[in-house]
Structure formats: structure tokens, C-alpha cells
């Protein structure tokens, strides 16, 4: 038996209380294209970041060519023969293809006085390119190149070191068209033939069927199984079945009864923001939770910020309680009655060194102060304690800096801030990132409680969440709204709508 190119044994990684990676065993053979599948948070990104030296593993062994390696930074990984191309490759936009490929390597042989010898760069670049069945003019600058050309430049840059044996590609096809994808696949096939192993993250099963020799499925920080495309054909498995597994149904509260639905509170028509999303229309009633599912870059983050006034509306209209609103800033949105629980609570939601009272009252200082702006200190403290109890803040201390709370409890403080702001529409973005499962259930319960008196929108890159918490949901795929016809999406349909742009594959 030959030695595999890469072998991981019982690799684990924790972030605080979250088990991002749990006892992962994984084998990458020499000269194979191996795909990694899994929903967001499944652990595949953490896994490749450990392989490429961005994160350091907590436990386990990683072997390359049978020798154990210990990478503490990306340089170590490259020395061990592992090169990585990120999802959005970092190329220098106003350098040419040649210059980018050999960036940081120009003076490998020459002394620093001789500068960059362009003719040598050109010869070596052409030499490298000639090994592959693709045609690119490397003398053009990166900013004039198409998405696939940039991807290829990034790959050439990664393998320019001759000793690279393993290439990691993080969602290389997410921005490519069908034709461009074929070019990339040709390049991958040539690399495979030359003995380089490729580890390749994707969301699309049909690509796996086309290009991969084997694939592994990640779910909840574990490697669930490794299979070949042939096995999928034989057993007629669907991608959703592979990626989702069991539901976490128990975490989510009961859905609303039709009788609980109140009046129309938000009516959004044909909303557009630049080229990030367009023609988004939906209605929201009091008493219901609307789910929005979309991958990173699908436009959900921008959609939430347009509704909240932090980004401009380029087209379309928003009606709140029957009156047209177009908030120019979060201050105006808050005044109109919209509250955003932002995706990155540490950056966008909280003043970490300040107390809970400070944070809870911040979004509605008018309510927190009386004549001439004097803060109603005892009333604010009382209200904060009341809301802290309602969101079951633990520890129930409203005067200590919020940096001392866990992720889940920090999120509860942002919800308490929303309660104090007293809005008609609450928008949650990625509400449970970095929140452990117990606090998660509590947060979902809080959303349901908020929905009793107001409208709630939950936007998430986690399909289970967007589907499980909501009464109905739609997906955003590359800025295009995908809605169900005449009924609500099933979980699998929502997943397909979000990652393929089409619900009918489910």
C-alpha cells in the first residue's frame, strides 16, 4: 500500500465553548481530487485552515507523505508542500499576471540590488503556464482579468514553488460561469495527472460528480463519511440528505398559529442595492417570523442593512405600518420602529467595555433620559434588570462590562437592547454564530416571544436555522430572491434554493 499524500488522525479544534472540529480522521491520496461538502459551520473551513496553517490544531496528528508535520503559520504549511487558494484570492490588482505569480519570490536568486528582472519573470511564467492546457495573457494586469483568469493566476501562484504536493481550493467555482468552470476543471485535471493532490471545497454536488475522485461530508464539526461519486449514483443519494442529516427540531419553538397573525407591519417591494441584490419583495405581519436563507455573499447582510438605513436603497419601496419609509441612517430606522440585531455583535452590536445598562439603553437614549438629556439612572437600571431577567442573562449582573459575558449572553444583551428600543420590526442577522446550543434554544424562544407583538425577520447562512425558526422563508441566491410557489419551502427546498438558486433539485 502506498503512503497517502496527507493523513489526519483525530484532529480537534475548539473555539471557546464551540467544538469546531471533533476527532476528524481524513485521508488524501496522491493525485486525487477530493471534495469537501458541508453546510456552513460544519467544520470544513476550520479543517482546511488547520491544514494551511491559519489555525493551530488542539489535538491530533497530521502527516504529509507519512511524516508528521506541525504547522503554526501558512509559511510552515507551504514548506511542507501544502498550498492554499482562498475563496477570494488576494492578488495585487494593478500588477500583471507574471508579477503576481512570482510575488515575493522575484529575488529568490538575484541579489536585492539587481531588482526584478522582467524577462526572467516572463520566461518562468510562460514555462509554468505551458504545462497546462489553458491560454491566458499573463502580461495583462489582474484588474483587467476575468474571474476564472484570476483563479488560475492564484493557483499558478500557489504551485509556483516546485515542491507543492497538495493544493487546497476554497470554493473556487462560486463566482464562475459554466464555461469558465470547464477551464478550471481542465487545469485541475492536469494538476492531478502531474501527481498533485487537490482538496476542494464546494457546495455543489454536480461538480463533485464531475471532477472529484472521492468526497468527504462534514457535519457539526465531524467528518461523517468519505464516498466516491459512483456510490452516490448507485444509492441515488441527494445532496441535501448528505449535508443536513438529522434536524435539530427540538431546539426551535412552536411555529405561529394562523390565528396569531396580526396586521401587516412591513411591506417591501422590488428593493435593490447596487448589484448585490435586486427585486426583493416580501410582506411581514405581526406575530410571524420570516426566515431568509443565503450563503455568504448572497446579499442577506446587505439586505438587512438597507432595511436598517445603513446602506442606500437604489430602487424599490418599504412600507412600515402602512406608511412609506426610507431611512437614511440607523437613527431614522430606529425612530421609525426597525431594530437590527447585527451579524457581528462584537463589532456592530456592543460597546464591550461598558456595562449592560449602557448597552441596553444606547439604542433608545430618548427613553433613557428625561428633561435636558439627564439619564434616568435608577429607572434605566430597573428596566435593564427587568430585560436581563426576561432574556435570562447569566450572570444577571447589569453593571459589569459586557466583555465578561459569553457569546450567547452577549447576544442576549443585544436582544435586551432591542426590547428597550421597542421596535415594530426586529431583524436578526446570523443570530447564533458562536452561541452554544443551550443559549441558542433560549434565543430562538426570545425571537418567538418578540414575534408575539411585532414582526421578526431572521436572516442566516444556516439553512436549518432560517427554516427551523421561521413560519415561512425565502432564499437569496447571488442577490436573486427565490420564493416558494403557493406554499412554504421544505427544509431541503430552502437549502437548494439558497445554494443552487433553484428549489426543484431537492
Judged by the rule CB under 8 A, the positions of this chain that interact with another protein are 15-16, 308, 310, 329-331, 333-335, 340, 342, 347-355, 358, 361-366, 368-369, 372-375, 377, 401, 403-404, 417
Shortest distance in whole angstroms from residue 455 CB to another protein:
19
State the Cα–Cα distance between residues 277 and 254, nearest whole angstrom.
31
Shortest distance in whole angstroms from residue 433 CB to another protein:
15
Question: 206 by DSSP, 3-state: which?
Answer: helix
Tell me whether residue 64 or residue 340 sits nearer to another protein (CB atom).
340
CA 501, distance to chain mean position in Å, is 17
Q: Which three cell numbers stand for residue 366?
A: 430618548
* CA distances to 448, 468, 485, 499 from 494, in Å: 21, 11, 12, 9
Tell me whether residue 167 or residue 363 sits nearer to another protein (CB atom).
363
Tell me whether residue 123 or residue 346 sits nearer to another protein (CB atom).
346
State the Cα–Cα distance between residues 484 and 504, nearest whole angstrom.
10
Shortest distance in whole angstroms from residue 70 CB to another protein:
19
Shortest distance in whole angstroms from residue 382 CB to another protein:
17
DSSP state, residue 319: E
DSSP string, 426-437: EEEESTTTT--H
Tell me whether residue 79 or residue 335 sits nearer to another protein (CB atom).
335
Shortest distance in whole angstroms from residue 384 CB to another protein:
13
| Beta carbons of 320 and 266 less than 8 angstroms apart | yes
Tell me whether residue 294 or residue 342 sits nearer to another protein (CB atom).
342
Return phi, psi of residue 460, to 5°: -150, 150
Q: Which three cell numbers stand for residue 310?
A: 445603513
Shortest distance in whole angstroms from residue 319 CB to another protein:
21
| Beta carbons of 308 and 334 less than 8 angstroms apart | no
Tell me whether residue 216 or residue 380 sits nearer to another protein (CB atom).
380
- The C-alpha torsion from 312 through 318 and 320 to 326, rounded to 10°, is 30
Query: Which helix (H) or strand (E) element contains residue 480?
Result: strand 480-482
Q: Are strands 33-37 and 214-219 parallel, antiparallel or unpaired?
A: parallel
Shortest distance in whole angstroms from residue 19 CB to another protein:
13
Tell me whether residue 84 or residue 361 sits nearer to another protein (CB atom).
361
CB atoms within 10 A of CB 53: 21
Shortest distance in whole angstroms from residue 53 CB to another protein:
17
Tell me whether residue 156 or residue 439 sits nearer to another protein (CB atom).
439
Could you tell me how many residues make up the chain?
506
Tell me whether residue 20 or residue 145 sits nearer to another protein (CB atom).
20
Shortest distance in whole angstroms from residue 412 CB to another protein:
16
- The C-alpha torsion from 240 through 39 and 501 to 273, rounded to 10°, is 160
| Beta carbons of 474 and 294 less than 8 angstroms apart | no
Tell me whether residue 169 or residue 360 sits nearer to another protein (CB atom).
360
Cβ contacts of residue 106 below 8 Å, gap of 6+?
Answer: 99, 116, 117, 121
| Beta carbons of 91 and 131 less than 8 angstroms apart | no
Cβ contacts of residue 448 below 8 Å, gap of 6+?
Answer: 253, 254, 256, 289, 469
Shortest distance in whole angstroms from residue 353 CB to another protein:
5
Which sign, positive or negative, has the C-alpha torsion 477, 290, 333, 347?
negative
Shortest distance in whole angstroms from residue 327 CB to another protein:
10
Tell me whether residue 15 or residue 237 sits nearer to another protein (CB atom).
15
* CA triple 431-432-434, angle to 5 deg: 130
| Beta carbons of 154 and 67 less than 8 angstroms apart | no
Amino acid at each position: 500500500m502506498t503512503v497517502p499524500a496527507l493523513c489526519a488522525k483525530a484532529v480537534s479544534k475548539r473555539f471557546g465553548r464551540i467544538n469546531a472540529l471533533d476527532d476528524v480522521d481524513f485521508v488524501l491520496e496522491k493525485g486525487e481530487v477530493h471534495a469537501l461538502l458541508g453546510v456552513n459551520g460544519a467544520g470544513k473551513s476550520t479543517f482546511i485552515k488547520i491544514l494551511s496553517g491559519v489555525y493551530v490544531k488542539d489535538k491530533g496528528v497530521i502527516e504529509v507523505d507519512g511524516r508528521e508535520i506541525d504547522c503554526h503559520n501558512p509559511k510552515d504549511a507551504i514548506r511542507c508542500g501544502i498550498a492554499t487558494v482562498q475563496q477570494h484570492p488576494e492578488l495585487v490588482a494593478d500588477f500583471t499576471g507574471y508579477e503576481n505569480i512570482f510575488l515575493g519570490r522575484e529575488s529568490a536568486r538575484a541579489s536585492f540590488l539587481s531588482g526584478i528582472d522582467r524577462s526572467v519573470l516572463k520566461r518562468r511564467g510562460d514555462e509554468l503556464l505551458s504545462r497546462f492546457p489553458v491560454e491566458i495573457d499573463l502580461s495583462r494586469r489582474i484588474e483587467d482579468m476575468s474571474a476564472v483568469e484570476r483563479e488560475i493566476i492564484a493557483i499558478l501562484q500557489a504551485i509556483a514553488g516546485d515542491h507543492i504536493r497538495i493544493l487546497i481550493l476554497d470554493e473556487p467555482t462560486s463566482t464562475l460561469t459554466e464555461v469558465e468552470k470547464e477551464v478550471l476543471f481542465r487545469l485541475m485535471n492536469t494538476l492531478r495527472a502531474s501527481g498533485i493532490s487537490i482538496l476542494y471545497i464546494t457546495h455543489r454536488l454536480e461538480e463533485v460528480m464531475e471532477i472529484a475522485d472521492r468526497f468527504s461530508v462534514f457535519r457539526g464539526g465531524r467528518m461523517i463519511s468519505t464516498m466516491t461519486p459512483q456510490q452516490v449514483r448507485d444509492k441515488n443519494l441527494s445532496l441535501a440528505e448528505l449535508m443536513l442529516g438529522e434536524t435539530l427540531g427540538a431546539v426551535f419553538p412552536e411555529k405561529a398559529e394562523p390565528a396569531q397573525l396580526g396586521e401587516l407591519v412591513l411591506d417591501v417591494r422590488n428593493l435593490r442595492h447596487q448589484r448585490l441584490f435586486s427585486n426583493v419583495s416580501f410582506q411581514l405581519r405581526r406575530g410571524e417570523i420570516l426566515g431568509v436563507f443565503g450563503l455568504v455573499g448572497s446579499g442577506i447582510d446587505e439586505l438587512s442593512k438597507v432595511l436598517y438605513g445603513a446602506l442606500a436603497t437604489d430602487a424599490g419601496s418599504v412600507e412600515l405600518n402602512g406608511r412609506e419609509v426610507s431611512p437614511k441612517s440607523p437613527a431614522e430606522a430606529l425612530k421609525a420602529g426597525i431594530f437590527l440585531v447585527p451579524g457581528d455583535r462584537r463589532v456592530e452590536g456592543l460597546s464591550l467595555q461598558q456595562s449592560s445598562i449602557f448597552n441596553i439603553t444606547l439604542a433608545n437614549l430618548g427613553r433613557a433620559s428625561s428633561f435636558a438629556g439627564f439619564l434616568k439612572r435608577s429607572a434605566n437600571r430597573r428596566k435593564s434588570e427587568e430585560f436581563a431577567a426576561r432574556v435570562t442573562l447569566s450572570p444577571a449582573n447589569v453593571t459589569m462590562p459586557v466583555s465578561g459575558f459569553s457569546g450567547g449572553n452577549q447576544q442576549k444583551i443585544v436582544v435586551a437592547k432591542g426590547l428597550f428600543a421597542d421596535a415594530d420590526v426586529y431583524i436578526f442577522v446570523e443570530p447564533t454564530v458562536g452561541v452554544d446550543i443551550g443559549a441558542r434554544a433560549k434565543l430562538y424562544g426570545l425571537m418567538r416571544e418578540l414575534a408575539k407583538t411585532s414582526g421578526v425577520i431572521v436572516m442566516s447562512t444556516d439553512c436549518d436555522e432560517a427554516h427551523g425558526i421561521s413560519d415561512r422563508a425565502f432564499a437569496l441566491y447571488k442577490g436573486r430572491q427565490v420564493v416558494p410557489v403557493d406554499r412554504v419551502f421544505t427544509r431541503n427546498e430552502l437549502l437548494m434554493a439558497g445554494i443552487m438558486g433553484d428549489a426543484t433539485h431537492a
